[in-house]
Amino acid sequence: METLDRLTLADVRDAAARIAPHAQVTPVLRSRSLDRLAGAELHFKCEQLQRMGAFKFRGACNAVWSLPDDVARRGVVTHSSGNHGAALALAASTRGIACHVVVPEGAVKAKLAAIERYGAQLHPCAATIAAREQTAATVQQRTGATLVHPYTDPAVIAGQGTAALELLQQSGGVDVLITPVGGGGLSSGCAVAARGLQPGIAVYAAEPEGAPDAYESFLRGERFTDIVPQTIADGLRGTIGAINFALMREHVDAVLPVSEAQIVAAMRLIWERLKQVVEPSSATVLAAILRHPQHFAGKRVGVVLSGGNVDLDALPWTNA
């Protein structure tokens, strides 16, 4: 398995080969009206069209298929508010092994239903990172399953980076890449891939103001996690991982904050103009492009839309 000190473009390419029989090559879409609004040429990598509706399948699939047979037979376990749990459950099903997912109280119902639909066993816990980790450790000890962390596992990070690998190949190259950031698996993996392919590319991460641990960590120059996340972007409430922050410090230029109102407005724009169903976490990237135009104006921009698992009974503009 990859380790932090050698996580490179080669590891991302290995992950791409490993997951190729199982993952979708998602399309890159364009919108003239969004280009005009942003003053930039936007290339949207549509991971909402990935299997189970999010980029998370890439990393989970790479982690599951990286396991030796004797280890894989004991199954896998993780903790997740939704997308990673569903991704790991689906990835486990492709290999015919058991999957256990620890889920916090208050998780999006549609995402919990997806986890169960893909065959995982759910283990509820309190809505704190400490409770999630403790419950996962208990399940791991009882079952012998391998922990596949949502974002600090090197195999997961390499798998997530395959989204950027595809994007740069499909677009013919871009000047700037932007992804959402929560725990940092997508951001760090895509940054490693992008800088490996195009050393001069600018790389940014978009983050909700209501969950600013990555922003604060960059500001302070050290990992800062003393934050209680409060954001509509439920997929970005995870605390930035140590391995992820180290990779981001090396390969990401800046973390760009966005407000809740900007997230909702950007989400609606993507639905209206790009005709794609995305969740709030995905919309942070367009929100950041519109709020911080100095980094993007006049450039070719790779925009990773992370997922589309939306609770259709609780759309954020319904009661506006």
Distance CA 91, CA 36 (A): 39
Show the DSSP H helices in the chain as ranges. 9-19, 32-38, 56-66, 69-72, 83-95, 109-117, 129-143, 154-171, 185-197, 213-220, 242-251, 260-269, 280-291
Instruction: Please state the φ and ψ torsions of residue 287, each to the nearest 5 degrees.
Output: -60, -40
CA angle 28, 252, 44 (to 5 degrees): 10
Q: Active-site residue among 31, 66, 80, 81?
A: 81
What is the model's pLDDT at position 4?
55
Q: Of 52, 56, 36, 6, give the one whose Cα is nearest residue 304.
A: 56
Give residue limits of the domains in the chain.
Answer: 4-54+154-305, 57-147
What is the architecture, at CATH level 2, of domain 57-147?
Answer: 3-Layer(aba) Sandwich (3.40)
CATH of domain 4-54+154-305: 3.40.50.1100
Establish whether 281 is a catalytic residue: no
Establish whether 171 is a catalytic residue: no
Q: Active-site residue among 31, 56, 217, 282?
A: 56
What is the model's pLDDT at position 110?
76
pLDDT per residue, tens digit, the chain (320 aa), is 344 557 999 999 999 999 999 999 999 999 999 999 999 999 999 999 999 999 999 999 999 999 999 999 999 999 987 789 999 999 999 999 999 999 988 877 777 888 999 999 999 999 887 898 899 999 999 999 999 998 999 999 999 999 999 999 999 999 999 999 999 999 999 999 999 999 999 999 999 999 999 999 999 999 999 988 899 998 898 889 999 999 999 999 999 999 999 999 999 999 999 999 999 999 999 999 999 999 999 999 999 999 998 888 888 887 64
The 10 Å Cβ neighbour count of residue 220 is 9
Tokens of 297: 């104006």
Same fold, 4-54+154-305 and 57-147: yes
